[in-house]
Amino acid sequence: MGAGCSSVEYRKYSSLLVKKHQRTSVGDKINEAAAAKIEDKPKTQDDFKMIMNALANHFILKSLDEDSRLEIAREMKHYTIGPRECIFEEGKPGSSFYILASGRLEVVINGVKKNVIFPGFGFGELALLDDRPRTASIITIERCTLWGVDRETFKEAVRRVNIQGHEENKAFIDNISLFKSLTQSQKSRILASLNTQRWGNGQKIIKEGDVGTLFYIIKDGIVVCSKNDMDVRHLGRGEYFGELSELYDQSRSATVTAIGDVKVVSISCQNLFEILEDSLQQIIYKNSQRIAIENSYALSALKTGQIDKLLDYMETTKYYPGEVIIPKGTMKGLKLWIVLKGLAATASGWKYGNLTCIGDKELLMTPGSEFSDDIVAEIETDISEISKETIENCIGGNLREITTTNDLQEILQNVYLFAGLDFSKHKELKNSLNTVFFNDKDLIAVEGHPGEYLYIIKSGKAICRKENKIVRTITKHDYFGERALIFDSPRSASIEADGPLICWTIIKSDFLSLINDEIRSRIYHRIEMQDISISLSDLTYIKPLGKSMFGNVFLMAHQNKSRLYTVKAILKEKIENLGIQVNLKAEREIGLQVNHWMMMNILKTFKDDKRVYIMTEFIKGKDLFMVLREIQIVNELHARYLSASIVLMLEYLHEREIVYRDLKPENIIIDEEGYPILIDFGTAKIVKGRTYTRLGSPHYMAPEIILGAGYSFNADWWSLGIILYELLYGKVPFGEDETDTHAICEKIIEHRISYSHSALKTHSAKPIIQQLLNNNPAARTGGGIKALKSHRWFENLNWDRLRIKALKMPYIPKFRDWDNEIEEALMDPKIMYECFELEESNDPYKLKLYDREPSLHIGWDNDF
């Protein structure tokens, strides 16, 4: 970056994944402390104490849990080095963090001695983030010994500890009776809120009479509980304590003391109730009932609000072994029973275990048949029950009709094809819907065969293949089969279920009678944009649009139809040097899966001997970064619409297990209607648990990414909080005036948010900003996406109209007219590859080939 670069301009280009300032090329070996003798020397208790003390004094390291710091201490190697030797040199890239064990070191900056380092002091911690240049030289004054750890070892140690801890904690949560009936979402949020602690022999973990703030689960070791100095009981691995004071706001009823070394996980009262939002016993009952209803084929179509109403009327009874729950001869179809806990059975061998519905299917039928056997409790069993009459009173009508109506509403709200469908057509659509189930690998449509149905995915996903090559993945609320119905032509591709799949289907005649001109226009646009017969040679070069993280982006036009596209060209040589094959494969996979009207869709990919190419639809607009520079601070309504639109984007991605990881204004285009469009999926990732890669743009990175302790979807909500703050206050909350990544990260970890610099310091958005920027990732949505969308900041917002872009945005950007430029390019086309090479020659990244293991990424570009 040039002199005088503002912090805002710096943010536009900064990234932890790829830095353009003095970045070490792949293959360079960083050789620090070259004169030292390095060995895996056993550590004494005093060594560990000194190392742990030093680790606790650095912002990156002190924010890690004790287990992670202990693992880092174990991994540190012993260095012995003589006098007047260099540990590392100013301006050279860094690789390791060091702790001086004996001797003295001097700190030299620009040839001037600035300071002396004494034993017990740690230095060089920025190298644990990346290979940035050292800001000083460190020289030994006398013979010294040090402990050191390099960046890759540090990352792997933290990752290893957190993976192990996460899995252990997950097993605990799944097996603790107190949490057994919680939903997976609630368990995940509790898991994200747990902290690990260690206690030594004789240490008191809680004291009798103290006010309780934490609930504890024992991971390793034994504790003794005592009252009035009398031992009451011992607790071991997997058992818990502190729940009474934690859950019922009582003082501690006992003292709990560690016997030997003890490791526990704890969760605070505030976090527990932010997650559970109710008394725990009610939560357990209600969650059990909810899980059973959601898993019921007959009742799963009920909406969350409808289920909530049913739960308020559920009556729960405890049955003891041998007691009859449902007598023989009871009429079916009049009542629903749910086994919350225990086991019910009939004499003929039918058994009903935990979270099982009894009589649910019959609720959708006309009453008539009877139970032919008594259903009896085999063990102590808790049963909830509710009558069909009460169910229909709660949901406001006939159960069968309402479940069908719910399906219709889900389609109208989430399937863009039917957005804005005439109200008069709703009943027609409702009557046309059928639900079809497919098993893994089932063929739904066959290329070249006639098509009679439109398919809309209700749950699961499917693979689209053309000439046996995977073209894209189709997921929830996406649709397929429309081309064959509109043009009365054979299927253009084969569709195969990828796992269990549920689809709504509409027969051809009904579909053609439903669609209006607007829907037909959407279909034509989609068919044209997804023209998989198009090749790179069909396109004409117009102009460069900019640079992405890895490649150059160009505006292109179809030679015959003049339709505009963007093409990102990435040199294979650069891909090899940066080792980003996995990133590009993921970008392609995710981009072809995404089909959302607020996201830029990947249409096709190409490759040749020199490059890979990613083609997307062209969206005329300005990125939010530039828009903010034009208008500086947006008003409340505009900020609400923009942030709510981003909520819808993240909801869509997270529902598909995609974490975006680089949400920032530069990756959001404001289109011709003023709506935000998410672009560039180069850092997105499909995550089924947690991921550990430290990447993103520093000002927008969540603290858990910086610490390398593992993160998931909640990191995106933090980035939204940063953007919302920036929209309203014209600056980012952490490190606004900083250009150094270390300084930015330190500000984020410190977590001091100021509202006093603006006249808007009493802004109504302050509570939601604080929630999104919560250090506890599990608390950022306030209990899930539904809770976030119900936040007071979004009060009275019409989510359905926003979803179909029917709300008028308060600000529409002004755009440059490119028509003449495009027309000239089409009339006098340039040689495409020469234009690509010209832009690549200006790339500040200097290419250099190194010996690499060729087998690592063989065939990585087969699908391009």
Catalytic residue numbers read: 662
Using the structure block, give the residue that is written with the tokens 């959302």: 596
Q: Please, which residues have CB within 8 angstroms of residue 225's CB and are 6 or more apart in sequence? A: 231, 232, 233, 234, 235, 241, 254, 255, 256
End-to-end Cα separation, the chain, in angstroms: 34
H helices, E strands: number in the chain: 28, 41
Provide the residue type at 481 as one letter: G
Q: Please, which residues have CB within 8 angstroms of residue 832's CB and are 6 or more apart in sequence? A: 536, 539, 540, 541
Quick one: DSSP state of residue 200? -
Cα distances (Å, whole numbers) of residue 325 to 356, 377, 383, 385, 602: 14, 7, 8, 10, 57
Q: Please, which residues have CB within 8 angstroms of residue 438's CB and are 6 or more apart in sequence? A: 444, 460, 497, 500, 501, 502, 503
Q: Please, which residues have CB within 8 angstroms of residue 558's CB and are 6 or more apart in sequence? A: 534, 538, 539, 540, 564, 565
Determine how many CB atoms are found less than 10 A away from the CB of residue 267: 23
Provide the residue type at 568 as one letter: K
Under 8 Å between Cβ of 212 and 150: no
DSSP H/E element including 16: none
Under 8 Å between Cβ of 611 and 552: no
Structure tokens at 263: 């490791």
DSSP H/E element including 286: helix 280-294
The three-state (H, E, C) secondary structure of 477-512, written as one string: CCEECHHHHHHCCCCCCEEEECCCEEEEEEEHHHHH
Under 8 Å between Cβ of 406 and 305: no
Length of the chain: 864
Q: Please, which residues have CB within 8 angstroms of residue 372's CB and are 6 or more apart in sequence? A: 328, 348
CA 758 to chain centre: 32
Structure tokens at 740: 């150094």
Under 8 Å between Cβ of 415 and 514: no
Structure tokens at 832: 């495409």
Report the distance separating Cα 378 and Cα 830, nearest Å. 81
Quick one: DSSP state of residue 731? S
Determine how many CB atoms are found less than 10 A away from the CB of residue 261: 13
Report the distance separating Cα 348 and Cα 341, nearest Å. 21
- Dihedral angle at the C-alpha atoms of 286, 287, 291, 294, nearest 10 degrees? 60
Under 8 Å between Cβ of 462 and 414: no
Residue among 221, 232, 219 at smallest CA distance from 165: 219
The tally of CA atoms less than 13 A away on the side-chain side of residue 575 is: 24
- Tell me the pairing of strands 137-140 and 86-88: antiparallel
Structure tokens at 190: 């509790």
CA 756 to chain centre: 31
Angle between helices 151-175 and 184-193 (to 10 degrees): 130
Structure tokens at 681: 């999926």
Provide the residue type at 3 as one letter: A
- Tell me the pairing of strands 105-109 and 96-102: unpaired
SS3 638: helix
